[in-house]
Structure 1
Amino acid sequence: MLKHLTITCSDMIHDIKLSCQIPEVVEAIASQKIIAEVAKEVGIQIEKAELQQEGDKLRLEKKLIKAKDTWEWLKKHHLSLDEFEELIYNQVLSNKLANHLFSADVEKFFYQHQLEYLSAATYEVILEDRDLALELFFEIEEDEISFSDIARQYIQTPELRRAGGYQGVRRRHEFRPEIAAAVFAATPPQILKPITTPKGVYLIWVEEIIQPQLDDELRQQIISDLFSDWLKQQITSMDIVIELDTDINNLQSQDKVQKQA
Structure 2
Amino acid sequence: MTEVIQIGNRTIEARELIPLLASYQMLPQLLRELIIDEAIAPIECTPEEIAHAQQQFYAEKQLTQEADIQAWMIHYGLTASQLETITLRKLKLEKFKQATWGHKLESYFFQNKSKLDKVIYSLLRTQDIGIAQELYFRIQANEQSFADVAREYSLGPEAQTGGLVGPIELNALHPAMVQMLSTSQPDQVLPPTRIAEWFVILRLEKFIPAQLDESIKARLLNELFETWLQEQKKQITSLPNFSDT
The structure with the greater share of residues assigned to strand is 2
Instruction: Please indicate, yes or no, whether the TM-score normalized by the shorter chain is above 0.5.
Output: yes
- SS class of match (1:214): coil
- SS class of match (1:113): helix
**Partners of 1:35 and 1:132 in 2: CA distance:** 56
Q: Moved runs in structure 1, 4+ residues, more than 4 A?
A: 13-17, 64-67, 81-89
Partner of 2:112: 113
**Partners of 1:107 and 1:50 in 2: CA distance:** 27
**Per the alignment, do residues 111 and 156 of structure 1 end up closer, same or farther by CA in structure 2, a change over 3 Å counting?**
closer
- SS class of match (1:145): coil
**Partners of 2:22 and 2:197 in 1: CA distance:** 34
Retained in 1: the 8 A contact 2:136–2:201? yes
- Displacement of 1:167 in angstroms is 2.2
- SS class of match (1:186): coil
Deviations 1:58-98 (Å, cap 9, x if unpaired)? 56xxxx7999xx99xx9xxxx73859987654433332221
- How high is the sequence identity, in percent, across the aligned residues? 19
RMSD: 3.5
1:48 aligns with 2:51: yes
Task: Show the 5 A alignment for 1:70-149.
Answer: 80=76, 82=78, 89-149=88-148
Deviations 1:169-195 (Å, cap 9, x if unpaired)? 111210011111111111112222223
**Partners of 1:185 and 1:192 in 2: CA distance:** 11
User: Paired residues, what number?
Assistant: 216
- Displacement of 1:54 in angstroms is 5.0
**Partners of 1:30 and 1:162 in 2: CA distance:** 46
Deviations 1:20-77 (Å, cap 9, x if unpaired)? x83xx44332222111101114x34361312433554x56xxxx7999xx99xx9xxx
TM-score (norm 1): 0.68
**Partners of 1:196 and 1:85 in 2: CA distance:** 58
Q: Which moved more, 1:208-217 or 1:185-194?
A: 185-194
Structure 1 gap ranges (5+): 1-5, 245-261
Partner of 1:190: 188
**Per the alignment, do residues 226 and 15 of structure 1 end up closer, same or farther by CA in structure 2, a change over 3 Å counting?**
closer
Task: Show the 5 A alignment for 1:102-251.
Answer: 102-155=101-154, 160-239=158-237, 241-244=242-245
Retained in 2: the 8 A contact 1:110–1:214? yes
Greater Cα radius of gyration, structure 1 or 2: 2
TM-score (norm 2): 0.72
Deviations 1:108-133 (Å, cap 9, x if unpaired)? 21223322222111222321112211
**Partners of 1:193 and 1:95 in 2: CA distance:** 48
**Partners of 2:98 and 2:55 in 1: CA distance:** 19
Retained in 1: the 8 A contact 2:124–2:158? no
- SS class of match (2:147): helix
**Per the alignment, do residues 161 and 243 of structure 1 end up closer, same or farther by CA in structure 2, a change over 3 Å counting?**
closer
Structure 2 gap ranges (5+): 1-7
- Counterpart AA for 2:55: Q
- Displacement of 1:148 in angstroms is 0.9
